[in-house]
Structures are given as structure tokens and as C-alpha cells.
Chains A and B, each alone.
Chain A
Amino acid sequence: MKFAAALVTSLLIVGSTGPAAAQGVDADAAQALAKKSGCLKCHSVSQKKDAPSYREIAAKYKGKADAEKALHKHLTTSPKVKVDGKEEEHDSLKTKNDADVMNVVRWILSR
């Protein structure tokens, strides 16, 4: 009985903390790295700028199994992107720490 109560309580706690907290995303660190890397010059979290907002990106990848892998590649390999019809090189995150990259990836996907 005690075990069942503890299990229910644990599940409730995990369920109430949301996707970001469940995946252990450090939102402040992710935002700081995004800012340091110049991402916020073109992207915004939820408002319109020249590039899609992180909320739009999260919606685009929602439910896709390879979302994290695809976004990780996008943020580390400087792919070509089109902005206002012109091709530009997308900047990579300014870090060599893969855990920091994954933190930003998960932060974006949890918007």
C-alpha cells in the first residue's frame, strides 16, 4: 500500500514538472549560450524576426523521432539556410561541449 502511494506520488511529481524539467533542461544556460552565439539576432523565442521563432521550430519537429539529432546537426555544422530569398551560412553554437549543445536543442524543442 505504502509502495503504491509512493509510486503514484512520484508519477504525479514527474507529470507536473513539464517536458523541459523532465528532460533536465537548464533554460537559463541554454538562453545564455544562444545569446552568446548570436542566435537571438535572427531568432526569437516566440515572436517574429527574420528567422523562425523557437516555438515555430518546436512545432515543426513535434512528434518526430529524429528531432534532437536533426537540430543538433543544424546547430553544429553551419548548414546553408535561406533568409529573405538569399542563401546564408547558419552560425554554429559557440561551444565545444556537446552537453551544452544538447541543452540548447532540448530547450528549443521544449518551447
Chain B
Amino acid sequence: MIRQSWEKLRSRCERCARTTLILGTTLVALLFAGILMAAGAAGLAWTNTEKFCIGCHEMRDNVYAEFKGTIHDTNRSGVRAICSDCHVPREPGPMLMRKVQATFELYGHFVTGVINTKEKFEKHRYDMAKRVWTRMKETDSLECRNCHHASAMDPEKQSERAKNRHAKMKSEGLTCIDCHFGIAHKEPDGGPGPRELKIGKR
């Protein structure tokens, strides 16, 4: 049927047939690319859900269990921050980079089982925390600033103590994670904290 119509068109007007072929191929390619992009975006969005993050017991039984009941989980206004809000950048480029890095964690989950028991998790807790702190210091606590904007903070609505600490943040070039660590998860034992970590650029 299609072949017959095509032959008919070709015999009538060669140029029309060629134009139709080019337009048709472009349309199919665009449609295919669109489907691929939509599927990719949906896939990425799925990996940012809480359900996905606690799909493995390493996260569910350790850091997620610690997160429950904290200010970012439950509070007076009901605004929550889930795993990806604090651990995945929102900008497309940095987000893709983070996702690529995270694929290496699958090796640890499926092949080596590096943190598959409570004891192993505790043994590696400091190293994992240090990695997160380092990244946040390098990005000036990017994920915190997705929701908390220093420029939008009204010192008059803060306690005297918070006002002093935030003034110090500005004068000493500190970043959110220098003080606000161990708020959603247990503080790891041993080793230098964020403020003591020496980070090259910021």
C-alpha cells in the first residue's frame, strides 16, 4: 500500500517524492529523539524519588532511618527535603555528572557489598560523609542553597545567636555545611569536620 503510493508519487513528480522522503525521515528522527529524551528525563526524575533512594537496604536502614523525624523530614510547615534535594544538584550539567558518579555506587552494592551490613556502613561512615562535605564545600553548599538563600534571609527574624553566626559566615567566608552538618544523619566519628577540611577552590 505504502509502496504503491510511493511509486505513484515518484512517477508523477520525482522532486516531490524526494522532498517527502526527506521531510518524512526528519519527522521520524525528531519523533524518535523526542521519545528518547522524554524517556531519559522520566528515568532521571525517577532516580530522584525517595522511593528509588530507599530501594536498597543500605540507605533505607541507615541514613534514611536517621533522617526520619529530623527537621527536613517533618516540621511545622510540612515542607520536606528528600534525599535528592540535598544530594543531587538541580542544574542539568552537575546533575548528570552526579548521576554518572552514582553509577559507580552500583558496583559497591551489587559486586563488593562494601556497606551491606551495619558494621560495614559504620566503618565507612566517615569516608562517605567526608566525600559529601568536600563536594558541598567545593560548590558553596549548592544543594542547601537550592532552598536557603543567604540574600533572602532577614536577620531581624533570626535569633541573636543565628544573626551572629550568619554574620560570621559572611565575614569568614564560611559555607552552610561548615556548621550545619550532622543534622539529617548521625555525625561520623573521628577525622576532621567540614570546617577543618582544606578545600582548594571556592
Question: CA A86 – CA B167 in complex, angstroms?
Answer: 13
- Chain B stretch 178-196: residues in CB contact (< 8 A) with chain A: 179, 181-183, 186-187, 189-196
Contact (Cβ within 8 A) A44 B164: no
Question: CA A46 – CA B190 in complex, angstroms?
Answer: 6
Contact (Cβ within 8 A) A49 B168: no
Indicate the size class of the contact surface on chain B.
Answer: 20 to 34
Contact (Cβ within 8 A) A47 B183: no
Q: Mark A19-49, 1 if CB is under 8 A from B, else 0.
A: 0000000000001000100001110111111
Residues in A whose Cβ lies below 8 Å from that of B190: 46
B161 on the A face (CB < 8 A): yes
Contact (Cβ within 8 A) B193 A88: no
Contact (Cβ within 8 A) B164 A49: no
Residues in B whose Cβ lies below 8 Å from that of A50: 165, 168, 179
Contact (Cβ within 8 A) A44 B193: yes
Question: What's the minimum C-beta distance from A90 to chain B, rounded to whole angstroms?
Answer: 10
Question: CA A84 – CA B160 in complex, angstroms?
Answer: 13
Contact (Cβ within 8 A) A47 B164: no
Question: What's the minimum C-beta distance from A56 to chain B, rounded to whole angstroms?
Answer: 12
Question: What's the minimum C-beta distance from B144 to chain A, rounded to whole angstroms?
Answer: 15
Question: CA A48 – CA B168 in complex, angstroms?
Answer: 15
Q: Which residue of B lies closest to A38 (CB)?
A: B161
Q: Mark A47-76, 1 if CB is under 8 A from B, else 0.
A: 111100000000000000000000000000
Can you report 11 residue pairs joining A to B where beta carbons are below 8 Å apart? A40-B183, A44-B182, A45-B182, A48-B192, A48-B193, A49-B179, A49-B193, A50-B165, A83-B161, A84-B164, A88-B164
List 7 extra interface pairs beyond A44-B182, A47-B187, A47-B196, CB under 8 A.
A41-B179, A45-B187, A48-B193, A49-B179, A49-B193, A84-B164, A84-B168
